[in-house]
Amino acid sequence: MNLPNKITMFRVVLIPFFILFMLCPVLGDADKYVAAAIFITASITDFIDGQLARRMNLVTNFGKFMDPLADKLLVCSALICLCGKKIPVVVVIIIISREFIISGFRLIASDKGVVIAAGWWGKVKTAVSMVMIIVVIIDLQNKPYQMLENVLIYASLVLTVISLVDYLVKNKEVLKDEK
């Protein structure tokens, strides 16, 4: 297993620890900061593994499959932990639904021998969602911060819808001959 794939797997290993600090009070108020630190670390590995794979010419089919899956697991875990507390349930459902739709679409493409890379809108959506999750986890109790949380939550929602439409339109040929 090459270095970028090991970094991707490290991100997956961090997820249960993130969930632990999000859902099980261990350190009192410090739990949210530990969870945020774990989430930030995992988010940074998303950037690092991709950069290394491209720069070192270590792009693999495992990495193409596992990197987006690791992202989905991380983001969906965080959204579920925050569901209804700070992030409206309907927003969580829409964001997670998009992830399932894209994953299903990639499976259909894979069956046809087509590998679909993440698009620009999807990368922006992921980055904004990760920042939003960090801000929501930290949850400072002041008016400007609360406004920032809301802006990021709804920016993530809008980018989720835009990235889904963009993805489907750009790759609609994958669905041809499906009956």
Residue 179 lies in a domain: no
Residue 139 lies in a domain: yes
Residue 124: closest CA among 164, 169, 80: 164
Q: Looking at the 3D structure of the chain, how many domains does it have?
A: 1
- 132, exposed or middle or buried, with CB in 10 Å at 0-12, 13-18, 19+? buried
In whole angstroms, how far apart are CA 118 and each of 47, 96, 115, 147, 176? 13, 16, 10, 30, 20
The CATH number given to whatever domain includes residue 123 is 1.20.120.1760
**In the predicted model, is pLDDT for residue 7 greater than 80?**
yes
Residue 70 lies in a domain: yes
Query: What b-and-e string marks burial along 51-74, b requiring 16 or more CB atoms within 10 Å of the CB?
Result: ebbeeeeebeeebbebbbebbbbb
51: which residues sit within 8 A by CB, 6+ positions away? Answer: none
Give the total residue count for the chain.
179
Q: Which domain holds residue 34?
A: 3-174
N- to C-terminal Cα distance for the chain? 38
Residue 35: closest CA among 85, 1, 110: 85
Residue 86 lies in a domain: yes
Q: Each residue of 47-104: pLDDT tens digit? A: 899 899 989 999 888 888 888 889 899 999 999 999 988 899 999 999 999 999 988 8
Which pLDDT score is estimated for 179?
Answer: 56
Residue 9 lies in a domain: yes
- Global pTM reads 0.89
Distance between CA atoms of residues 69 and 65, nearest Å: 6
